[in-house]
Structure 1
Amino acid sequence: MYGLLPLSGGRALCVVVALLIAAAPHSGAFAQTSLITAAESGDLPALQRALQAGAALEERDAQQRTALMAAVQANQTKAARLLIEAGADVNARDSIEDSPYLLAGARGYLEILRLTLENGANLESTNRFGGTALIPAAERGHVETGRTLIAAGVDLDHVNRLGWTALLEAVILGDGGPDHVAIVGLLVDAGASTDIADRAGVTALQHAKRSRYTEIVEILEAAGAR
């Protein structure tokens, strides 16, 4: 039925098996379930139906994402809220060591971040670079996210695998614009150390001077940075 060309018995059997596998519907532990699909698309009625039908909250797809992780990646706030209220794990890791909490912080999805913080987010958890949620938030200039994480009690001086703190990332990878100036101000006001240097021995102040980030230099010098 597949229009096979004449083949020897062994080869023909292999071709038939391969075609049958390809034609079979995807199933198993890593299939994209209806719950994950609904979460990613923000389809709340479909999400509710899947939950009412007994869908497993922590089922995973091929990227090891839960439905909540898929919702966070797509910034589907209402879907994320529904899943969290149903008991979804805000610390569940995917294949690249992200969690709903860590990703919401990194991307600046403030409403979802607050939901994760209210529902058991592990403030000490770190991403694949060994950084807390605060570090990428600072790097990307997510001011309100940074403020929220600081208020939640995330370690201000945690050093990631690159040898950088949130303050160092805000200066080294930031653009010196208003958002990064604000982030630096928040970190300094909260008590972040200005003296922690990178692996080359260069401090945040020295990086700011090299990049001619005048406003950041002023904030750091006023805080006694060297």
Structure 2
Amino acid sequence: MAKIVIIGDVGGCVTQLSQVTVPVLEDPETVVIQVGDLIDRGPDSAGVLAFVQRRLEDSSRQWIQLIGNHESQYLGAEMFWPQRLADEDAALLDAWWLRDRLRVAAAVRTAEGEEFLITHAGLTVDAWRKLGEPVTATTAADLLNTRPEELLWHERGPLWAEAGTDLYDSWLHAAEPAPFGQIHGHSTIVDFRRRAWLCGERIRQRTAVDWAARHTFSRISATRFIGVDPKHGRYGAPQWLPLVFHDATLLA
């Protein structure tokens, strides 16, 4: 068992990333899972990549790096962000992908027995069915880590699904109950800055928000869906925290 620390989208904000990760990595029993979107929008994408590269070299057993849609631009998906990375930074992402240092999914079990699939944007019902309807988070993560391209580059796949309209709505209207919980970044169902909702009433009624940490917790079937994108924007969120599970187990 370990303390598992899950970090939402970074978006080029290296100061915010280092402030929360350097202290926790001093504990050798801590595992960090970062959900992707390390780059773009913020002031220092190159600095973020250099920071993560050091973690992958020096603390590889403690750092699990997932791919986000912004990284996918350099690994097979179409370019959509107007500012491109420098060639050496794009090559670094390519090297991580080729060496399996950049993954699609992870899975954890909390001390309370909840199982969560962790991806950048979440696994919708349609994507889950295309994956073969896995019944555990571990199996889903293992299958996603085979890199099924028909899902990865799809606009509603695990790198691109929107939290409210794609992910949550799909499971709320599904004939089947959600087989496991999910943790995702990429998008959120609230506006943290204005403390406003960005989703329908059905989702809102099932959701609790930690406004200070910038996390959302939605109850769907007997599971929880947790959003961890802090929406750093161009300069970094003034206040936020990673999601922490104590005495948890890394499953995949």
Normalised by the size of structure 1, how large is the TM-score? 0.28
The structure number with the bigger radius of gyration is 1
More strand by share: 2
Instruction: Flag the structure with higher helix content.
Output: 1
Give the number of the structure with larger relative contact order, counting CA–CA contacts within 8 Å between residues 6 or more apart.
Answer: 2
TM-score of the pair, normalised by structure 2? 0.26
